[in-house]
């Protein structure tokens, strides 16, 4: 019951408060730790393919070890002091692992700029949430980038953390976000991180393999709840869910594209280089700014479904034991 109560409290807290910019954030601490260890370890390992792979692996294991010890020790200490303190800190820590409100807020800035601002403002807003080059994007390109970000992060920013929190508690959620953060910082296919970030990228693929597929299915189910095309979401999900270099990224994008009757994916520019990617979904209609809002509604509906399934499963298990 405690874990279900923590999960529910964290979800509600994220929906109401999110991540205020002025508060310290464990994910930023993880990012600082990753950057610190990378700087130090690159000096110790040879700049060869084997040396960089070994250095990146050591960095990842150190990050996970430090995150595990710090989060477990914090919660253990709180539990000794008071069960109420333990619950409160567990809820706050778990809330930090969720990004539903932040995702809606940041993609909402893109929507606001498209509706009442300039294209340059919209490009700047979307550049804060995507890794691709945004300077040459037109209005449709900006909108598509925002919708894709909401769709992809519906899994690794919302649904997957909920699943790991339900299975392994706040410590498991923190470890998942550490892996996710490492991948976002060093998991690139470029000269700097091709070998250094290989272990982190493969680890991220592994921990997201099942959650991304569960997320895709839940997005298809959620489409029915928010008045979108659930049947088409399921059709496109089955057809296009592997249309990406990553084994996981297209799972939720395919479901979202089908639900909204949009075509996502395609060639994009990263760090000045055009990267050809297959398209996802069908070009049934032109994309519009309102699709950002529709994608967010879909994300939240799938998140609520995940929460209900996780809490229900935890309560059922507790009663069976």
DSSP state of 157: I
* List of residues 6+ apart from 8 with CB closer than 8 A: 307, 311
| Largest distance between two CA atoms of the chain | 58
Length of the chain: 321
Q: Which residues pair with 280 in a beta bridge?
A: 264
Alpha carbon dihedral 190, 131, 68, 214, in 10-degree steps, equals -110
Distance (Å, whole) CA 264 – CA 144: 7
Residue pLDDT tens, the chain, 321 long: 789 999 999 999 999 988 777 777 899 999 999 999 999 999 999 999 999 999 999 999 999 999 999 999 999 999 999 999 999 999 999 999 999 999 999 999 999 999 988 899 999 999 988 877 778 889 999 999 999 999 999 999 999 999 999 999 999 999 999 999 999 999 887 888 899 999 999 999 999 999 999 999 999 999 999 999 999 999 999 999 998 888 898 999 999 999 999 999 876 656 556 667 889 999 999 999 999 999 999 999 999 999 999 999 998 888 887
Ramachandran angles phi, psi of 98, nearest 5°: -100, 145
Per-residue model confidence (pLDDT) at position 245: 81
Per-residue model confidence (pLDDT) at position 270: 62
DSSP 261-274: T-EEE--EEETTEE
Residue 118 tokens, joined: 């300039």
Per-residue model confidence (pLDDT) at position 111: 96
Per-residue model confidence (pLDDT) at position 317: 84
State how many domains the chain has: 1
CA dihedral sign of residues 297, 146, 176, 254: positive
Distance (Å, whole) CA 243 – CA 125: 27
**What does pTM read for this prediction?**
0.93
Q: What is the domain extent for residue 154? A: 2-320
> Closest Cα partner for 223 from 257, 192, 188?
257
Distance (Å, whole) CA 195 – CA 188: 9
Distance (Å, whole) CA 7 – CA 27: 18
């Amino acid at each position: 019951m405690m874990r279900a109560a923590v999960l529910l409290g964290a979800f509600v807290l994220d929906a109401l408060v999110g991540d205020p910019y002025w508060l310290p954030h464990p994910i930023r601490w993880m990012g600082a730790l990753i950057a610190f260890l990378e700087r130090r370890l690159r000096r110790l390992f040879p700049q060869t393919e084997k040396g960089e792979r070994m250095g990146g692996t050591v960095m990842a294991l150190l990050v996970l070890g430090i995150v595990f010890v710090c989060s477990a020790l914090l919660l253990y200490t709180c539990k000794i002091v008071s069960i109420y303190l333990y619950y409160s800190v567990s809820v706050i820590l778990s809330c930090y692992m969720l990004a539903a409100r932040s995702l809606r807020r940041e993609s909402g800035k893109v929507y606001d700029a498209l509706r009442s601002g300039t294209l340059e403002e919209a490009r700047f807003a979307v550049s804060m949430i995507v890794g691709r080059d945004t300077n040459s994007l037109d209005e449709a390109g900006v909108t598509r980038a925002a919708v894709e970000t909401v769709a992809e992060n519906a899994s690794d920013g919302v649904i997957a953390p909920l699943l790991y929190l339900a299975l392994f508690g706040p410590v498991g959620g923190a470890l998942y976000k550490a892996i996710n953060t490492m991948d976002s910082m060093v998991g690139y296919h470029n000269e700097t991180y091709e070998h250094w970030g290989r272990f982190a990228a493969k680890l991220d693929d592994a921990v997201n393999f099942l959650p991304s597929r569960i997320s895709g299915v839940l997005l298809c189910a959620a489409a029915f709840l928010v008045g979108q095309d659930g049947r088409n979401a399921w059709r496109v999900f089955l057809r296009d869910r592997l249309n990406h270099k990553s084994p996981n990224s297209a799972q939720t994008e395919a479901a979202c594209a089908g639900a909204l009757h949009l075509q996502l994916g395609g060639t994009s520019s990263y760090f000045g280089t055009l990267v050809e990617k297959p398209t996802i979904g069908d070009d049934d209609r032109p994309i519009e700014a309102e699709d950002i809002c529709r994608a967010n509604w879909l994300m939240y509906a799938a998140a609520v479904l995940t929460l209900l399934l996780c809490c229900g499963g935890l309560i059922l298990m507790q009663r069976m034991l």
